[in-house]
Amino acid sequence: MEMFSSFWPWYVTGPLIGLYVPILYLLLNRHFGVSSTFRDICAACLRIDKPYFRYNWKDHRWRLLFVAGIAIGGFLTHPTLNTPAQGQVSGHTLSVLSSLGIKDFSSLVPGDLFSWPSVLSLKGLLLTVGGGFLVGFGTRYAEGCTSGHSIHGIATFQRASVVATVCFFLGGVFSTYVILPIILHL
Amino acid sequence: MISIVVLLLGILFGAILTNGEIISWFRIQEMFRFDAFHMYGVIGSAIFVGALSMQVIKWLHVRSMTGEQVVIERKEMGKGTVIGGLIFGAGWALTGACPGPLYALAGSGYAGFVIALLSAIGGALVYGLVSERLPR
């Protein structure tokens, strides 16, 4: 259990994540991917008369169980790892973020934007409600996210996944340099 | 039985995302600003290990535990791959979390990420409502 009380280098984390591609195929013959559960949750909880939601979500119950596990895993490990960003994250990134007005570097996410009640500020809501919406809409339109496209898709040599991943980064860089500074200066 | 294994795999995945700092908003900012190798190392080595192990499965004709041959999910290329990809990327830089970390952070009790996760589900809902009218 000791290994869960410290941060891991990339060469431990990356290979462990990569193993989920073969494990899920070998166990269930299903592909590794997280964002499809957003659709499953809509289909399971709401009765919507649209073709996109007309499928048997119960065939994909394993995915809902998997993401419930992710939430539990986050709950179990996060408190022991809630340490300051300094020392881990690049000093250059932190000084740029500091100049953009972020003050709280005491945990893995800036508390002055994401914790209660500061999340109810205009900045907080734009980042969470706005950012979250783009994540849900975008991943469903692109039919995959970092797990389904960037890891599973590229690992199985799929052209669409390479294109999708390039676009994820183009969108992310644009947002980092253009949209985020605007929001943080509001 | 299989349900318990899947749940445990999920719990372990949540721990990997946390211990690997993939849930760190600062690490995602660092990645999009090209200030460190960490996230590129994680994604790159994940792809390498995933690709290598899928090749081994192919060479040795390993079957899935379901008894079937392993069938790789095909990702279709379309306008959505580009437009949706750009939209997701833009959102990822704001939340600092892609879908897996959204679940992990919501589970760890961050108010902001419970909201972001619900909004992501809302984003998928809106996508489903308008998808027929979007360019394919």
**Chain B residue with Cα closest to A177:** B33
Say whether residue A66 is in contact with chain B using an 8 A CB cutoff. Answer: yes
Question: Average pLDDT, stretch A112-124?
Answer: 95
Do B84 and A158 make contact, defined as CB atoms within 8 angstroms?
no
Question: The tokens of B29 are what?
Answer: 């900012």
Q: Report the SS3 class of residue A166.
A: helix
Instruction: Give φ, ψ of A41 to 5 degrees.
Output: -65, -40
Domain residue spans of chain A: 1-82, 115-186
Q: For A142-152, write each residue's pLDDT tens digit.
A: 999 999 999 99
B residues 1..20 contacting A (CB < 8 A) = 2-3, 5-20
Q: Are A100 and A106 in contact (CB under 8 A)?
A: no
Query: Nearest-CA distance from A169 to chain B in Å?
Result: 6
Contacts of A166 (CB under 8 A, 6+ apart): B85
Q: For A23-39, write each residue's pLDDT tens digit.
A: 999 999 999 999 999 99
Q: Which residue, among A100, A105, A128, would best test binding to B if mutated, counting the most B CBs under 10 Å from its CB?
A: A128
Chain B residues touching A144 at Cβ < 8 A: 75
Smallest Cα–Cα separation from A17: which of A73, A83, A58?
A73
- DSSP 8-class letter at B72: P
Report pLDDT for A183: 98
Do A134 and B91 make contact, defined as CB atoms within 8 angstroms?
yes
Q: ipTM greater than 0.90, yes or no?
A: yes
Q: For A55-98, write each residue's pLDDT tens digit.
A: 999 999 999 999 999 999 999 998 778 788 877 899 999 999 99
Residues comprising chain B, all counted = 136
Report pLDDT for A45: 96
pLDDT of chain B, 136 residues: tens digit per residue: 899 999 999 999 999 999 999 999 999 999 999 999 999 999 999 999 999 999 999 999 999 999 999 999 999 999 999 999 999 999 999 999 999 999 999 999 899 999 999 999 999 999 999 999 999 8
Query: What is the Cα–Cα distance from A123 to A120, expressed in whole angstroms?
Result: 8
